[in-house]
């Protein structure tokens, strides 16, 4: 799958977002090592604390479908500036994906490309539990 196909899948997932409170819709497309693409969108709740971000939806959906290793994720939002995953999503992505490539885009173009280790330089992981 090409980068543009991955971003296109994230844009399509964004259309299914449920964001009646913020109006900020986000889509994510996670590529498993076997080439399968699993998408997610943000789903808001009136309490906000129970809201789930697109990236975590994609990760949890992929895990529930049996995928365990991932290559990269594309994240799309309707914003001119790059919109990276939030802290909770960075932690979950690190936990289950390691140093993934993160492609950021908006509705028209790519806005950034990073390794997860750039966005989360000092991750908390199993190394701290020893």
Q: Indicate which residues carry an active-site annotation.
A: 55
Helix axis angle for 54-64 and 87-97, nearest 10°, is 30
The secondary structure element, H or E, covering residue 93 is helix 87-97
Measured CA to CA in angstroms, residue 21 lies from 25, 51, 74, 114, 124 at distances of 10, 11, 24, 29, 31
Q: Under DSSP, is residue 15 helix (H, G, I), strand (E, B) or coil?
A: coil
């Amino acid at each position: 799958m090409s980068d543009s196909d991955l971003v296109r899948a994230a844009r399509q997932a964004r259309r299914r977002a449920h964001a009646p409170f913020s109006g900020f819709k986000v889509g994510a497309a996670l590529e498993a090592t076997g080439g399968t693409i699993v998408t997610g969108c943000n789903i808001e709740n009136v309490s906000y604390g129970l809201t789930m971000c697109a990236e975590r939806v994609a990760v949890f959906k992929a895990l529930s479908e049996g995928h365990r290793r991932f290559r990269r994720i594309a994240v799309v939002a309707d914003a001119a500036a790059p919109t990276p995953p939030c802290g909770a999503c960075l932690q979950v992505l690190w936990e289950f994906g390691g140093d993934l490539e993160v492609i950021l885009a908006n509705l028209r173009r790519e806005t950034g490309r990073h390794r997860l280790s750039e966005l989360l330089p000092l991750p908390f992981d199993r190394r701290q539990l020893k």
